[in-house]
């Protein structure tokens, strides 16, 4: 591994290979229920894969501060369980039929069973965290869950309506970035016993997670508009079909002609492409530089994330954290 940087995902994954495998085993263990359908849904969701970026961040944060405690593995499973629970509920709310290129769990088991399985995963994650007997961990996780639920409710209220950038960033913080932030903060909490010594590291790592999470969601929103179904693992332009105005759309609405704005408003209101097609929307976004604007914004947040951890002690784990923002902004799914 280079002494100056980590250039590839393979190097980062090799750095955490054993820990990530342990998190997978812990998740599998924690997802077992006496009620078989809960276990079946949990196993199906785990098999769907995913980037595991939230436990990866928690592990990197903890190990950058010298943590070797087994707690880091359990907390890695906790944040992935929480994330998985949100995906189950999101698919039900959005009436999604696919997730990561496979049928979504609700198309297989139905909404009623899946919403309860999602609830069960939430509670199991808290039960696992409770075993650590650390009030700071519970405080972070409870506040996180409240913010994510509030974000989903706010988004539901705004579907089909125009929003400004301030409202957009509030939504994506609640829905995505707060979990990145708390994953990093938990890494600090795991590394240090409760004390004032922890505070600067927790704040620093939390700021990294917040900015990285904002960059991650902005890129997700751009990919939703531009990537092909087969790469996304779900229908392209799902956000527009659901009436969600994301950053590139907001930018085009502010700068477009009257006809451009009317076309975008039509799709948001109709929640389909029956009157205005996807290609027409992409032409508007490209003509006004809206996709580039969104990606430039994501890159700016990614750079702020890197700068925020400059005071961390030098280590392979810090260099891995410096690599992650580039991965987030250059991915294709």
Residue with tokens 């087994």: 70
- pLDDT at position 236, please? 82
Q: What is the DSSP string of 15-82?
A: HHHHHHHHHHHHHHHHT--SSHHHHHHHHHHHHT----HHHHHHHHHHHHTT---THHHHHHHHHHHH
Local structure of 104: helix, strand or coil: coil
- pLDDT at position 331, please? 87
- pLDDT at position 46, please? 87
For the chain, domains (ranges, CATH) are 9-323 (1.10.600.10)
As a dihedral over the C-alpha atoms of residue 159, residue 161, residue 163, residue 167, rounded to 10 degrees, the angle is: -30
Local structure of 107: helix, strand or coil: helix
- pLDDT at position 131, please? 92
**306 in Cβ contact with 322 (< 8 Å):** yes
- pLDDT at position 194, please? 62
- pLDDT at position 198, please? 59
Q: pLDDT, tens digit, for every residue of 280-329?
A: 999 999 999 999 999 999 999 999 999 999 999 999 999 999 999 999 99
- pLDDT at position 5, please? 57
Closest by Cα among 317, 68, 305, 91 to 205: 305
Low-confidence ranges of the chain (pLDDT < 70): 1-7, 193-199, 230, 232-233
pTM: 0.93
- pLDDT at position 192, please? 79
- pLDDT at position 1, please? 39
- pLDDT at position 97, please? 83
CB atoms within 10 A of CB 174: 21
CB atoms within 10 A of CB 49: 11
Residue 102 belongs to what H/E stretch?
Answer: strand 102-103
- pLDDT at position 224, please? 93
Residue 284 sits at the vertex; the CA angle it makes with 278 and 286, to the nearest 5 degrees, is 100
């Amino acid at each position: 591994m280079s002494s100056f940087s980590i250039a590839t995902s393979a190097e980062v994954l090799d750095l955490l290979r054993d820990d990530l495998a342990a998190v997978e085993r812990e998740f599998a263990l924690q997802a077992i229920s006496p009620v078989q359908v809960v276990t079946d849904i949990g196993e199906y969701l785990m098999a769907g894969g995913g980037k595991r970026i939230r436990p990866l961040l928690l592990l990197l944060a903890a190990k950058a501060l010298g943590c070797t405690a087994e707690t880091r593995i359990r907390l890695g499973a906790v944040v992935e369980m929480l994330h998985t629970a949100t995906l189950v509920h999101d698919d039900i709310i959005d009436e999604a039929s696919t997730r990561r290129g496979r049928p979504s769990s609700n198309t297989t088991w139905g909404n009623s069973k899946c919403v309860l399985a999602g609830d069960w995963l939430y509670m199991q994650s808290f039960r696992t965290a409770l075993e650590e007997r650390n009030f700071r961990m519970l405080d972070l996780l409870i506040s996180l869950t409240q913010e994510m639920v509030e974000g989903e409710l706010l988004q539901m209220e705004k579907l089909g309506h125009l929003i400004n950038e301030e409202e957009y960033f509030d939504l994506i913080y609640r829905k995505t970035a707060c979990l990145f932030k708390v994953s990093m903060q938990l890494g600090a909490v795991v590394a240090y016993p409760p004390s004032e010594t922890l505070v600067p590291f927790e704040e620093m790592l939390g700021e990294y997670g917040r900015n990285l999470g904002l960059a991650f969601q902005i890129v997700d929103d751009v990919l939703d508009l531009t990537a092909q179904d087969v790469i996304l693992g779900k229908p392209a332009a799902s956000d527009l079909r659901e009436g969600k105005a994301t950053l590139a759309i907001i930018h085009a609405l502010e700068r477009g002609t009257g006809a451009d704005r009317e076309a975008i408003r039509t799709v948001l209101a109709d929640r389909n492409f029956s009157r205005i097609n996807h290609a027409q929307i992409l032409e508007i976004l490209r003509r006004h530089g809206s996709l580039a604007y969104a990606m430039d914004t994501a890159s700016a947040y990614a750079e702020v994330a890197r700068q925020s951890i400059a005071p961390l002690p030098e280590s392979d784990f810090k260099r891995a954290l410096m690599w992650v923002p580039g991965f987030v902004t250059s991915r294709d799914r």
